[in-house]
Amino acid sequence: MSLSGKTAIITGSNSGIGLGIAWELARAGANVVLNSFTDNEEDHALAREISAETGTSARYIKADMSKGDECRMLIEQAGACDILVNNAGIQHVAAIDEFPTEKWDAIIAINLTSSFHTTAAALPMMRKAGWGRVVNIASAHGLTASPYKSAYVAAKHGIVGMTKTVALETAQEPITCNAICPGYVLTPLVESQIPDTMKEYDMDRETVIKEVMLQRQPSKEFATVEQLGGTCVFLCSDAAAQITGTTISVDGGWTAL
């Protein structure tokens, strides 16, 4: 599948899932726009590396996804948006009666409201171009729940609902909107947590992964950022032109339970 000539904007993409998706879209020929709220040399270096290795255009644009005007500015500054991947997200774990209000507000803003702003800004560009793909990175927690993650679960359920609405609003246009729902993914952040978890439970690496970290993931294997990127590329392909308004779970069977 060649995405040559297409411009893809991926929010929250200077690490982890977002960066993995950016790489796979670039390998498929898309020009990519990386994003986060920082503006370090390392951020711009990532874009240069992608460009050098894939032969596509890649650049980095700073925008804080907790602020609606910056979400819309990101799309406008990119100048084009054929593919929008709403990936930015944060997490906080606490009982609902102890959940800090500021954490709730931040999670809803970054994990949910940002996607409203970016999508609203991107759809006119897609309509003008006569083609578009919106891919929202939801979660297994967009389809099910866990205790102590009220804001995250609420936001991800909201993303799934918004995905359906956007799909219906664009159903008679060459634009699709879908959500990918990952389970646990092996990102650098997750990898860094493994040694501490091994110490906490006095278990070896394989046991702590299977019995603690992947307790709810029947495959007992992490999904990879490359797999999520490949799923995103598929959703941008002609083969997926009639796939819209739905969720694709990449969760090792989590939501089959």
Q: How far apart are CA 31 and CA 6, in angstroms?
A: 6
Catalytic residue among 60, 148, 152, 201: 152
Give the distance, in angstroms, between the CA of residue 19 and the centroid of all CA atoms in the same chain.
9
- Strand order across the beta sheet in which 247-250 lies: 58-62, 31-36, 7-10, 83-86, 132-137, 175-182, 247-250
Known active-site residue 152: yes
Burial tier of 192 (Cβ tally within 10 Å: 0-12, 13-18, 19+): exposed
Distance set, CA 71 to CA 36, 64, 114 (Å): 11, 7, 6
By annotation, the residues acting in catalysis are 152
